[in-house]
Structure 1
Amino acid sequence: MTPSEPSQSALHEAVASLPEPLREPVRIALQGLDSETQRSAAEPVLASLPAVWACSNFITRACRRDPKLLEELFESGDLERSYPADGYRTRLHQWTAELSGAAALKAALRRFRCREMVRIAWRDLAGWAELDDTLQGLSALAEACINQALACLHEWLREQWGTPRDAAGEPQQMIVLGMGKLGGRELNFSSDIDLIFCYPEPGHTDGTRPLANEEYFTRLGRQLIAALDEQTPDGQAFRVDMRLRPYGQSGPLVTSFNGMEIYYQTQGREWERYALIKARVVGGDYERGGQLLEELMPFVYRRYLDYGAMESLRAMKALVAREVQRKGLEDNIKLGRGGIREIEFIAQVFQLIRGGQERALRRRGLLAVLDCLAAQGQLPRFAQNELSQAYRFLRRLENRLQMIDDRQTHELPSDALDRLRLAHAMGYPDYATLRRQLDGWRQKVQEHFDQVFVAPQGGSAGDDTEPDALAELWQGTATADEAAERLAAAGFEKPAEAHERLTALHHSHGCRALSAQGRNRLDRLMPMLVRAIGGGRCPDATLPRVLQLLESVAQRTAYLALLNEHPLALSQLVQLCAGSPWIAQQLTRHPILLDELLDPRTLYAPLGRDALQRELTQRLEDVPPTDLEQQMEVLRHCKQTNNLRVAAADLSGAVPLMVVSDYLTDIAEVVLEAVLSLAWRHVSDRYGQPTGRVNGASVQQGLVILAYGKLGSFELGYGSDLDLVFIHEAHGEQQMTDGARPVDNPVFFARLVQRIIHILTTPTPGGVLYAVDTRLRPSGKAGLLTSSLEAFSHYQLHQAWTWEHQALVRSRVVAGSPHLAKAVEAIRRQVLTRRRDSQSLRREVRQMRERMRREKAADQPGVFDLKQDRGGIADIEFMVQYGVLACAAENPALLRYTDNIRLLDELSSCGWISAKQAQVLAEAYRAYRACVHRLALQEQPARTAAETLQTQRDRVAELWLELMGADDENG
């Protein structure tokens, strides 16, 4: 048997395995394949040939037209291997290294393109390349042709006109931006390429006959288009489409960076934002081009949640749908229902809406975007899976459809033989089976697309009159009597007052200044909103709260779009504003929080500590490490978002009181840890790390944040300040930072704490993170912002007042160095377990409490100040603190906890109070705090009618007399 016989046998078997109609064309084609070429092929390659040729007329024609092409592919082994990242560039550079002149370049580009397209299609059809490999290979091939052609043409043009330079003499290069699928590295087989040409700065070439840079790069751009697009005897490399450039076909071929920025800032349209999502540098000066794209990001991705993008993309899709219907393109797998474009729209609408806030969404690859959306919970995981599988199916089908004749088409074939070719290429026995599979995937895509894009309808089911009636009322076409009648029917008890408020909003400056689009959004929203408020509880109180919010966001009409697009969010808004003016104010001050209303599953389910840390860490990782301003905004948004979730859950009764405070405390602690980390990074980048030498070794020094008050005792409320003390290490010698600009460690820590307080308290567009009170530090306002561990210890042991030791009972370290935290806790334990004279201690605690009562109590008949009046919260806290200070020397277990409820249990266990007394105080304390929380949500001070909690108040007052004795007559 000769060496070629096994290969011949495999070849004949492969032909015989083809469907009958495809065998004869392949047999005829194989007659022109000489035996020498066959012998040069590896057996798997030769065995794949019949199936590949059966599915692709393009490959068959190319190989028969140029037998050397097939022989070279066989001998090189390139059909069986994938290229490295720079494989196409390296090979094309070798093809063009000795060229001279545009004609030779065009010929080389076309021959190279033909070779590599045959190779890519062969590997795809033989099943040797995954879809991603095929798409990225096609994109890399196009990019290599663009970049190499540009380099050659630029060099030849420079020889004629000189090097283009800016006003400072710096050389300039043209930048080619690849748009669409080329930019996303998802190019399909026979796609044209969408390009934009630009250059950095105006100027002139430095040749003997200078040209303006714009003229130079315009000539270069025309030559590049011709090199790629022009039809020659060798065909065409790539069809070039320049219509996406600024001003489209009527605009200049090449634009300066400044011209690009001005255009997009002043005239950029919504579809151009969509186009720029995938923009990528594919030729020329990659570094400067990357800088340009970064400068254009604010145009593409708005800083706020841009729900107006939903309307824009829906309008774009409607135009496409009309074109599909007009041209009868229902079977177009790209533009038709359930096609590739609908999957792209789903991914890209979320990118446009959220990309300004979520940098992780600023990706070019569609599948990566879908995966990110699922990870963030924006898409259900099953939807992401189905859309990803459908996309892969449709893109394989698209490529194999185009591989038949290397023709840019998305229409399913009508020819029976081509239908069989396509089915065979996709691995199906016949076209009918392929079509059933295709229709199934398109149906799934349609369903997901409609879930995202179908416009919600206003009005209640079966109610055709109320929306029109309320729309007339809003537009002012109804009389005052008609308006009052309609509002009363809608549920308002004071319809005339409600009508007056609506009319005031309608004629307000903000509404009159709206664009036509913004006005349309508001006009669509108001009837739905009025109906929702009227159908809820307390409509007359709710209406002004919601209208105040609308007036504040009217100019940012994307928020109006959000409420129009999501009736559930509208319902949640009304419900929360009806329940809490505090929540209404938070939403008014920070309308970005409206996004949280979209999903009740997350709105009413506050995050635990670990989830909070993951969320904040992820958001901060998306911000450049040097951008402190944006980091501060992320911190504020994280805190506000999670506080809203807690408040919503609290309002709905989904979580009990004690858990509300736990959630709020967790939020504050996670934020403080992040703030300390950010501040440390910023200060240490400037000065280095604080170190000291101990026994000759360099040891890094740390800092901790010691929390007092409500944060220290896990009892934080919605508007609570943070009582903080900062303590740093200062042991060893040579207390200096180790950076290029060293400073003494105390200076480092002082500046660190200043930075922490700056991050926490500086007002930004996102508000203030937390108000901070540092008056509990050693020596109060007169003391340093940060104390060394030794100074803190000395002060607490030798100088602190009794009230400062009372405060220490509710203190704990919430962030910072773990080993320093242990040292601080040891000092706290040492101070609090000191033996004290119980009579003197009782007198001092009682006197301090009476002084507070005189200064802060309500002193109003019929009013009970929950915190400061006799029998209130402060009385319970002072009794607990006295008990701990009096008993901790004998019962150090009292120092395990810092919250009052568990301390009452401990005081009962050690015998200072009875179990019954502890229960009375704990029940009163819970009742008081529950009332304080409710009042905070109503934006009311912590005061209530005297009789509301009279029983608890009397019992606490009785126990005060029993445990603390009568107050001193002189106070």
Structure 2
Amino acid sequence: MSLNRKLITYGFTDLEKSRRFLEAPELAGIDEDQLFEGLAASANPDMALQSLVRLLAVDRDAVIAAMADVDRRRPLFGLLGASEALGEFLMRHPEHLEVVRAAAVPLPDADPAELRAQLLRSVGADPAEENPVAGVLGVEAHRRLRVVYRRLVTDLAVRDLGHGVPVDYVGVVARELADLAAAALEASLAVARADLAEIYGADTVARVKLAVIAMGKCGARELNYISDVDVVYVVEGDDLEESTLARIGTGLASGMARGVYSPGPEPALWEVDANLRPEGRDGQLVRTLASHVSYYERWARTWEFQALLKARAMAGDPGLGRRYEEAIAPFVWASSQREGFVEAVRAMRRRVTENIPLDEQARQLKLGRGGLRDVEFTVQLLQLVHGRLDDSIRHRDTLSAIAALSAAGYVGRTDAQELDDAYRYLRVLEHRIQLVQLRRTHLMPEDEMALRALARSSEGSMVMVRPSAQHLQEKWQRTRRLVGRLHESIFYRPLLNNAATLRPEDVQLTDEAAQARLAALGYQDPRGAMNHIRALTGGLRRRAMLQRQLLPILLAWFADGVDPDAGLLGFRRLSESLGESHWYLGMLRDSNAAAERLSAVLSSSRFITDLLEVSPESTRWLGSDAALVPDSFEAQWQEIRSMMSRHPEPAEAIRLIRLIRRRELLRVAIADSASLLTQAEVGQALSDADRAAILGALHVAEKQVFDDQEQLTDVLVVAMGRQGGREITYGSDADVIYVHRPHPGVDAEAAQKQAERVVNRLGALLTQPCGSPVLAERPLEIDTALRPEGKQGAIVRTLESYREYYRRWSAIWEAQALLRARPIAGDDALAADFVAVIDDVRYPRELDQPELREIRRIKARVEAERLPRGADPSRHLKLGRGALSDVEWLMQLLQLQHAHDDASLRVQSTLAALDAVAAAGLLPEEEVEMLRASWNLATRIRAAIVIWTGRSSDQLPSSRRDLEAVARWCGYGPGRGADLEEDYLRMTRRSRTIFERHFYGS
């Protein structure tokens, strides 16, 4: 038999290269039968041969000894043919070749305690200690740790690759990898303790307890060979100052992460990712347990509770870790009670799928349709929904959870078995792909040789016939389809259990022709659009028949919007939310106005779509102009009072108050989209909704505080900034200051503390989680930075304190800020007295030259320092040239100069101030009109950005698509984004010229 034929028979691909390696001097004297017997056992003979030759060059005797041992030969070639990275590890450290040996049968699970002990001993730490300290420091400790870790991973890989049925062993592999990660972090933490002891002293560092909490796959003990290890940190210190505790805790956490990931003589292991901590990457790296609990009580979002399902103490102080688990568990299992929880989880899964790059969609094992995430989201949703009352399904890892859900009857036995089989198979593929280079990847290879090697390594030694690349592809695609089907039928139960394709008589186009038509209409993803159409129109139910009638019209209307794909997706989500509601599709069928309005908002507004998704009953408003008239403040307050009388419990009361605010926010946005409100009316309606919510929250806060102690003081909330001017938009915070007046005869200090309790509780009530998806929740953020002395000042002051402060210490900028002050909640008499106090401040008899210079200096400083780095001043909507800030400062300067003598200037609104300035002749009429136009356009653009993206931004968009969407909202026709941009730049240039002429006198 020729050599080429022999190589082909044994599975080689690159014949020329393999022939050269077979002629390498390192193979001289090697038994050819042993060599080819071993190569035949490898998944990738080409890679195995190359690694073998290189390994022989490093330690020939050790390799020959392994090859001569019939029990070690197959594991050696199996490893070299499956993992180039572990082969290179053995080349760097041939002394560890001994781990390549035949595994015992049955294969035992590794003892987590023994893994921990081995890695701790590698850095000279005592495993018997609860919080061990390394005896080796710095880079050398990290090197030793990484070498022992990789030796243990190699040992595991040998057992894994040698198992006859890898899908049966994948759960053991995942658990051991998670235990290895925990052990590595424990050892690295011991090194960090030792390193910090050199700086802070051993006794001080020993007083700091750090618990490392595993999240994600590591928390579930189902880790991959190479994966980010998601963690959060909990810190505790006996009698240590908060700053010292935070500094040492952060040092321990950072040092631990560096130990496994920083560059060094031995390559890094994997990245430690702490972005799942409270507030994400913007939050503190380490927090106390009380701080964690407080965050999850008040501010955590729905997805964070889903992430906590996997939380597990993995390293560090075990007692603190256990207390964290016990404190967090109630949040996890109560999360399904949050309003909109199920749809929030579904929406999150859809967003993950939508964000996959197009070139990866067909290769994704993890995120794509029919991938690992579909199984995990399905299982987690069922656990979170039913686990509140059934603790038998409270498992962290996916495989145990599937079995428990089946045993409890939440998933049918057949479905559960298919989910289990599919998940195991996908995890084996993921493991084998990552083993090759020990790189974090979830993409199926495209190269034929790599696919063939993957097919061989993933099937196991029990398979008699070597599988081909085609066999692998077919099996993977079958698995994807199966998982996709199960995900659809279970995850969207019961709404989406029909996914039948359209019948020819329903749509008189083939799929191919329909996709071509959708592409011609402007859909970017015709195939995805067809999937939505099938889901909407499949089956014989009345809803499907109505949607078959409506969709041809709606598809064209969606195409008239900026993003038709989003319009169709939003319609599908909304239809799923409303289910079989008889009125919904009937309204769209019978009312052109409702259908057109719905089509317009779904294809042009992420903000409204998200709000409609969690409040789908609000779709009723689309068919009636009367229903879109915003409720007045008085009507909202009456509703809130009635609701509070029926629901005195604070948590329920504030939930309903915020739902009322969200409802009005949505009503205003839809009315705005239908051009039923002017810009001024939008600001006033939004301000009314905020005012009603703040007033309601104040009553709830006072009830909570006064139930515990006698009322000692009256509290007043005063709106500032745009909130005071009733000119807010959809993404605005509430700028406020707080005033209180103690009751006669009470202790002043006690009254002050009580007032602080009230206002702090007020802010928390308005921002704590309320059970809605991130974009739809829209909590009302309270900003008190405009109070006397800014963030350094008391959060609430007495009326007399304000009077004294403004008399003795206030600066001119504070008088300027008070021009917009407007009491919105609290005691009416106190409000009147406070206005009397500030009127003398904000409407001074005269503005002297030093004060005028100070105002000009502050404005120049704001422009120089507060404009974001790299921002184009000509495009910044708030602080840019001729934008909102310029108009507002000019109006406020004129008010400071003239409002004492002219009462018509005593207004909080910028637009009202412009009217008053024009009427008083303080500026030429044409200049006032230009200032008004630029201010209105900038305000409208800010609102449009929130409406389009669901996020606030002060930058005029630069992308054509975003400009087009914003231009549509601002009243420009299709294709006129460039016109909007040109108009804005032209208006603000003129506005800036007017501003500089009158503000700086130039």
Normalising by the smaller structure, the TM-score range is 0.3 to 0.5
Report 1 or 2 for greater relative contact order, CA contacts < 8 Å, sequence distance ≥ 6: 2
Query: What TM-score does the superposition give when structure 1 sets the normalisation length?
Result: 0.46
- In terms of Rg, which structure is larger? 1
Q: TM-score if structure 2 supplies the norm length?
A: 0.44
